[in-house]
Amino acid sequence: MSTADFVAVMAFLGIVLLGLAAMALHKALRRRPAGRIKARLRSAAQTIRDPGAQQAVEDLGRAEREARRRQRRQSMGSLGRYISRIEIVSGRRGIYMMAAATLAALAGTAILCWLYLPLPWWAKALLTAAVPAAAAVAIYRRLNEKFRLAFLEQLPDILDMIIRASQAGVPVTQSIRSVGEEFDAPAGPEFRRIGDSLFLGNDMSTVLEEAEARIQLPDFSFLAVCLLLQRETGGSLSDTLSNLASVVRSRRDLRLKTRALTAEGRLAGALISVIPIFILVTMSFVNEAYVSVLFDTPTGNLMLMAAAAMLIVGSLAIRKIAKLET
């Protein structure tokens, strides 16, 4: 037997062994209690052709996938919490966007610092680490802000839908599931997740606490408190949610008004940040010898780093002053 034949036989045997191991693992997983329950539900749904049973199987599978993903994120510690938050606010697309932006910032900063900027090695290393980290933080905050604004834009209509369902006698659990089916992201998937958890028999207080931790919005916390109070004390849910809807709309109008009032300050801050860079680039083309002092001498390098630090601090201060929390 030649060497090629021996390698082919061993490869074939290895593939066969891997297939047998995969079959044994799959059989062992199906023998677990959760696997047996799921198999029985699927078999019953296919036998009786009941849409409700098929929906129960889908809900069970979705809940299992959500539980496994939550366990993986918890095992990762702080990094897992940040990744889970990004998945909530923007899905997998946000993770890919942040990773791509961070790598691009790292590559661009490394090329710019180590090939073109005449800075000390410690300054180059500091910039190479700080710029990608700042880019990741900026994208993370931007994704959270976009999620917050989009969720608050949908929340009044969601409250109106729950009010109409309550007036028609529909249970709160079913109305929340209907909201998850009718609305798109970002509010739709979150309410669908809440409805699935309630449908599977989880306690409402636990489900709403987990939802508050995921969404992290005061307006949604108001809704959770209203639902819990109505369950414990009774009363008219539609009147309470009507008042809450008016409060949410008032907060949204106030938020838009403050954004319009601070637009001038935010624009001025952006212009003040851009003008020094524009002047530096223009002078490098008009009179290169005049600007080269900043790059070719140690004193110029220190002045350039001090100017960059002051520009960053000033821009952050203007941004903080022009931003009003509502």
pLDDT value of position 35: 55
Distance CA(184)–CA(180), nearest Å, equals 8
pLDDT value of position 19: 76
pLDDT value of position 31: 60
Residue type, 291: V
- Count of beta carbons in the 10 Å neighbourhood of residue 106: 17
The candidate with the shortest Cα–Cα distance to 157, out of 134, 171, 178, is 178
How big is the chain, counted in residues? 326
Per-residue DSSP letter, 80: H
The set of residues, in sequence order, having a beta carbon less than 8 Å from that of 282 and lying 6+ positions away, is none
The set of residues, in sequence order, having a beta carbon less than 8 Å from that of 84 and lying 6+ positions away, is 70, 73
Per-residue DSSP letter, 170: -
pLDDT value of position 183: 86
pLDDT value of position 174: 83
* Sole residue written with tokens 């839908």: 161
Domains and CATH numbers, the chain: 151-253 (1.20.81), 262-326 (no CATH)
Burial 284-302 (b: 16+ CB within 10 A, else e): eeeeeeebeebeeeeeebe
Q: 191 near 183, Cβ under 8 Å?
A: yes
Give me the average pLDDT of each 10-residue run along the chain (326 residues): 68 77 68 57 55 59 64 68 80 84 88 77 83 88 88 88 85 84 85 82 84 86 86 78 87 83 80 86 84 82 84 82 65
